[in-house]
Structure 1
Amino acid sequence: MNPCFFYLLPSLLLIGFAFQSFGEAYETKPLACVLVEEIGGGGSSIPRTIRQTPVELHLIDPLNLIPEAPITSSPETLHLHVTDPSGKLLSPRLSSCEVTYLLPQEVPLAWVRSLTEEKRSPRALGHPWYSLSVKDDASGNTVSAVLGPQGEEDDKLTVFLAVYSTSATLYARLGDPLYVPCGFWRGQQFRSAIEWRHRALGDGKVLYAYDGRLDRIEEIFPGYEMNFSTLQSQGNASLLVDKVAVSDHGTFLCTIYLPYIRAQRDMQLEVTALPTVTFLPNPLFARPNEEITLSCEASHFHPLEISVELLRRLPGDSQFSVLPGVSLSTHTLNKDGTFSLTASLSIIASPEHHGARYFCRVRHISVPEGVTRSNTLHVAGVAGLSLEDGMYLFAVALALYGSLTFLHRKFKLVIGIHESKKDE
């Protein structure tokens, strides 16, 4: 056997594994999608309706090494054969696929206008174009792509632009910095523009706008930046938020513009702020059968939804009981956009409840394990002094002794000065 064969064997195996992996990527079954169209509405009296057409997306092997699977779906299904040079549609776990028709057109924005200033659109714009949105349910990755014609056949398409993010929902603590991910693939098209918007409760604003052709920042909102070191080399258009505020709660939209086409990813941001919990009175002392009010305040939390409970554990008992009749105040809106709430309950300090432990338990999305504060009820004259009673009285006596000593020294000093003046 030729000795050169042994030197070539590792390379041959590597090539074989590469072709096997390549083939597996294209042997997956077609991606099931839905084409969403708005139809009707030709007159004011005719309502618009939504029509959904089943679509099967067939990924084309660009090297023609893998034969296409036979079509077995119903005749009503629209079949689109797509070449994906971006590689973003090759995951076998993609789902939640939606397709819409796209009309390529100019965009009258200052940071996009330079992309089409020649006013000469390519011939391919006369063929059908589509917007595609897919999600990887396992990882949460989402992809938006623009599909355009490849040749003269309307069902043969290729990816012209892909915009992707690692998650559709982000969580951030109030006051922390934030990285909002957004990547893009644009092939050989170097004319591009980037726009970041924020939308919440019907209001929207531009956070960042960059004209890539002119290399010029057109809009920038204080506290938001982009990392230009990885923008061109890696297609990284992620947004950097200096310090998260409650006003950032809502939807971030990353839009990438190419001449006449665009793709967008939206990410929902949930801003959370941990509640500060205060349970009063502390310490919990009362006379026999005295009525006292327990007050538990949860302050500076976000978002609004919160649960506050008061519980009790009697001496010698290992079980907790939820106390009924708790009164909740209305939510107070703080200057920083967070909320505060107080739960209160009046109890009778009966002697048999001496040593009972009272708890305030707060549940909020910012603290999955919850926050608990507790106080022990001490009823005067019951069962003598406990260790906690003794420690408390000792601390009071020590503070009183220190105060009296300080006043005594001050008094002696004043008397001494007064007598010295009389002697003079």
Structure 2
Amino acid sequence: MHLKIFLRPLWMLAAAIVQAQNRHTVQNRKLECMFVEEKQSEETQIFGPTTIKRKAFLLSGDLNINEKAIIFKLQASSLDVFQYVDEKPDNLGCEISRYSTHGIHVPWTHQGKETITDVWFTVTVRNLKSSFTATSFMRKIEAPDSQQAENNEAKADEEDSAIGDTDTLLVQVSYVVHTSTPLTKTKLKQDLVLDCGYKIDHSTDFNIDWRYQHKGIKKKLFSYNGRHEQVEHLEKGVEVFMDRIRTGNASIRIRNIDVQDEGSYTCSVYVPPLFGIQTLEVEVLESPIVSVDLDSLSLKEGDEQKLACESGRFYPLDVTVKWLRQQGEGHMLPVYMTNVVFSPHRRNKDGTYNITSFFRFIASLRDNDVTYMCRVEHISLAKPIKRYIHVKVEAQPQILLFILGSITILVVCIFLVILLIQIKKVTSYLFLCSHRKKQEEALLIIGKEDSV
């Protein structure tokens, strides 16, 4: 511990020397941005503040802009915001906004002879394809011999001073926090490094904090007190590069990624009075394993068959499974089958899912040499997975059809004969009953006459 206390001033001195050596002539660079402000009004309490965006440029070097825009002109500094934008402007997004220290004033080392103010801005540059995000803190400065500095001396420290549509502001980058992993898509059981780096234009104390949030779950992963060089919290399964943390590497490593590790991660680097934050999104993508119960199938005409397509161990839940019918090898478009049913989703122990799709049909000669295809689409796949079942259908033999037809006719004839016999019996029975009734009536009449 005593050795650390002894070495710390030497380390600070070495860092200052390196920073001084890193200073270089500012190159001519230009980046188009949007200056974003929130305006308060009488309706703010009901609808919230109004967001106003105006065109702005971030310039370095001796460039001049003739367009109607707010100009933020970078002055020489040991930090270069343009080191993160070395690619086509069409792939970049740039947003500048005010940054409030909420009245907290902390002495900040100033580079240069200009008059320093307590007005701060942030410029966030991000790649539109989510390959990096960098947020730089810029402090407004005024040249001591400028007329503008004399006119604005009374309001130099006002954070909310008005900025015109064509104003030029001199700014100096003092602090940068950046990440090269704003969006990470990963498979299960992988080790994942979440990148978070920072650069400060002078040696000072700082605190680092990592937090996680997903679907209502919040937890602290790691915290570091730079002043005392102490780790105050470290979540199980999280690793930190302690040998690099004081040189600007605040990254963490998560071992053996699980479904529960998906969500938003926040890296905060607090350099009083500036709070640098990067939000990193982690998405778990596990591709489905697709299989069919048969590769080929031979049927007789009239046979009924059920085909099954299993999609297993995929994440997230949403998956699309379709059955298609393809005739021959021509260029005819496949036909989507509609008589398809699905099993419920089944969740595995690792959080992935399984689902089975069923297709049932009765074979006919038109199904001969037909290919049925199970096609599975999932967000983890660059292209759908396809599985094929080739079907052959044979006609029923003619002699068998003749025998079946003959048996059918014979059965029908026997049935008709039996039916006729039964009808005749019923008719005879009814006739006999009727005859007996008439005889009984006749005898009854004769008996009455004899009695008389």
TM-score computed with the length of structure 2 as normaliser: 0.65
Q: Give the secondary-structure state (helix, strand or coil) at the position aligned to 1:305.
A: coil
In the alignment, the residues of structure 1 paired with residue 328 and residue 99 of structure 2 have an alpha-carbon distance, to the nearest angstrom, of 71
In the TM superposition, what is the alpha-carbon distance from 1:338 to its structure 2 partner?
2.4
Residue equivalent to 2:67: 73
Separation in 1 of the partners of 2:281 and 2:190? 17
Whole-angstrom distance in 1 between the partners of 2:49 and 2:102: 23
Give the corresponding residue for 2:405.
none
Aligned mates of 1:380, 1:52 — CA distance in 2: 72
Structure 2 counterpart of 1:122: 107
Deviations 1:4-46 (A, max 9, x none): xxxxxxxxxxxxxxxxxx77x6323354332232423677446
Moved more, 26-35 or 298-307: 26-35
Q: Describe the SS at the equivalent of 2:82.
A: coil
Partner of 1:104: 101
State the Cα deviation string for residues 70-128 of structure 1 (Å, max 9, x = none). 45233xx433222342223254545411122212259xxxxxxxxxxxx9732899721
Task: State how far apart, in whole Å, the 1-side matches of 2:320 and 2:139 are.
Answer: 51
Pick the structure with greater CA Rg: 2
Render the CA deviation track for 1:52-71: whole Å, top value 9, x for unaligned. Answer: 23333232x5xxxxxx3345
Q: Identity of counterpart residues, as a percentage?
A: 23
Q: Counterparts of 1:321 and 1:71 in 2: how far apart (Å)?
A: 58
Alignment check: 8 A CA contact 2:44 2:50 kept: no
**Which amino acid is 2:78 matched to?**
P
- Decide whether aligned partners of structure 1 residues 257 and 176 sit closer, same or farther in structure 2, where only a CA change above 3 A counts: same
- Per-residue Cα deviation, 1:156-211 (whole angstroms, up to 9, x for no partner): 32222111122432211111111222221112233112122223345433222222
Tell whether the 8 Å contact from 2:315 to 2:353 is kept in structure 1 after alignment: yes
In structure 2, the partner of 1:360 is 374
Q: Distance in 2 between matches of 1:123 and 1:192?
A: 13
1:169 aligns with 2:166: no
**Counterpart contact for 1:196–1:254, Cα < 8 Å:** yes
Unaligned runs of 5+ in 1: 1-21, 62-67, 107-118, 384-424
Q: Give the TM-score, by structure 1 length.
A: 0.69
Looking at structure 2, the residues matched to 304 and 29 of structure 1 have their Cα atoms a distance apart, in angstroms, of 44
User: Counterparts of 1:341-360 in structure 2 under 5 Å?
Assistant: 341-360=355-374
When structure 1 is superposed on structure 2, of 205-214 and 78-87 the one drifting more is 78-87
* Paired residue total: 339
The amino acid of 1:81's aligned partner reads K
The verdict on how the C-alpha distance between 1:322 and 1:54 changes in structure 2, with shifts beyond 3 A counting, is: same
Give yes or no for contact 2:311–2:354 (8 Å, CA) kept in 1.
Answer: yes
Alignment of 1:262 onto 2:275: yes
- Contact residue 351 and residue 382 of structure 1 kept, 8 A: no
CA distance in 2, matches of 1:136, 1:362: 31
Query: What is the distance in 2 between the residues matched to 1:344 and 1:377?
Result: 16
Q: Give, in whole Å, the separation in 2 of the partners of 1:98 and 1:319.
A: 51
Cα distance in 2 for residues equivalent to 1:70 and 1:376: 69
Unaligned runs of 5+ in 2: 1-23, 110-115, 150-155, 157-168, 398-452
SS at the partner of 1:89? helix
Q: Does 1:327 align with 2:319?
A: no
Q: How does 1:127-138 map to 2 (within 5 A)?
A: 127-137=118-128
Q: Which residue identity is paired with 2:63?
A: A
Which runs of structure 2 are paired with 1:224-239 in the superposition (5 Å)?
224-233=238-247, 235-239=248-252
Determine if contact 1:283/1:375 at 8 Å carries over to the other structure: yes
Q: Equivalent residues in 2 for 1:294-309 (5 A)?
A: 294-309=307-322
The equivalent residue for 1:82 is 74
Task: Tell me the amino acid that sits aligned with residue 279 of structure 1.
Answer: V
CA contact (8 A) 1:189 1:258 kept: no
The one-letter code sitting in structure 2 at the alignment partner of 1:131 is: T
Structure 2 contact 80–173 (Cα < 8 Å) conserved: no
* Distance apart, 1:143 and its partner CA: 0.7
- Which of 262, 277, 295 is the aligned partner of 2:290? 277
Structure 1 position 277, deviation (Å): 1.6
Deviation string, structure 1 residues 242-293 (Cα, Å, up to 9, x no partner) = 0112222232222211122111222222211121223235674555312222
- Pick which of 322-331 and 221-230 moved more: 322-331
**Contact 1:39/1:51 (<8 A) preserved:** no
Partner of 1:242: 255
User: Matched residue of 1:232: which SS?
Assistant: helix
